[in-house]
Structure 1
Amino acid sequence: MDTKSKLDIATQKKQSGDQAFKAGDMPAALRNYHESLMYLQGLDKNALESIGIKSPNAAPPADDGQTDEQKDAEKKKEKTIVDEMLEKIYSNMAACQIKNKKWDRAIECANKALAKNEDNHKALYRKAKALAEQGFFDKSKKVFEELKKKNPKDTASIDTEIAHYKRIDDEKEKANSKKLKGFLNKKSLETDA
């Protein structure tokens, strides 16, 4: 199968996944996203350029005194259409995993999206939410705070999320303290007798 066909099928599978997600069919969404990933495997910048697709953010080459190694490093940093699709697919898969309450998988998918673009606000949010749902409030708060720095316009809604998970964390802490206190009181009564 040629590069263009793979890219076309991957795009169609991603769109089918998006539609299934909107319809609330998480298994179908995840299946389509996985199939899209399979078609995207191995499609790198060189394969795309061979069919006439340039990187969307590629700048015209400039001779600014860079060494060949620096120019090669810059070329590797350029995002391709495949990179952008992978970022979106992994972020969307994280959303599916959150709907399924598969917190570890949601974090894994969000991290893969963030590997493609560390400023992906949706992936950061999904990672923070999954961490919080697992009970890792301090870790999730750090990710939420990072998200606030990268996306200041959503500060109010992010603060609301932090406050929500802080209340949950405080309630768990209170319950654990109560259990521990009861356990310690029970132990001291046994040793006094």
Structure 2
Amino acid sequence: MLSTWSHRAWLASGCTTVLLSLARLVIGVTNSKNHNIWLALSSLVACVVGYVVVDLVSGLYHWAVDNYGSASTPIFGNQVKAFQLHHELPMRITKHEFVNRTHPFASIVTFIVLPIHIFLDHPIIHGFVFVFFGCAIFANQFHVWAHGTKNQLPPLVVALQDLGIFLGRSQHTKHHRPPLQLLHNKWGLESFLGKE
């Protein structure tokens, strides 16, 4: 599917709000008294926690829309339909343009992260927000890479998949084999966490 200018605007908006969190994280840590090492380490831990939590949340969300609801389910019906279609035609997602597949989460992230910037200003919070919502925006791209072969992917992506930081093809392929796997260890879109 092709991308539109509104898709591009939403992706730019979502990425801007997430990058603003990164900027506020860096400024908060560097402007702290004596460049407080504990604040820096706590912010780094918040980034790691953001990654672990987004992997868990993406896995639970994926499991829920794979197993519950239908195209007529209020609010989530289109998402349920898209996930069901993905299991019928797994490679179809790879045919969507990058912006087309990433803008839906970016639009949601924009509305969630903007109030965080207005009401909360702490490097630890912004460390979590940067990683959690940054990964949320690009979850579908990580998913597409899990459908690719190593010779099709950028070397950095392959290295991150091999390290288990990104979900790899061998892990994700198990999820698409019939019968559709249960929640245990096949749903997270981000990484190796919760996998076999």
TM-score w.r.t. the length of structure 1 is 0.31
Larger helix proportion of the pair: 1
TM-score w.r.t. the length of structure 2 is 0.31
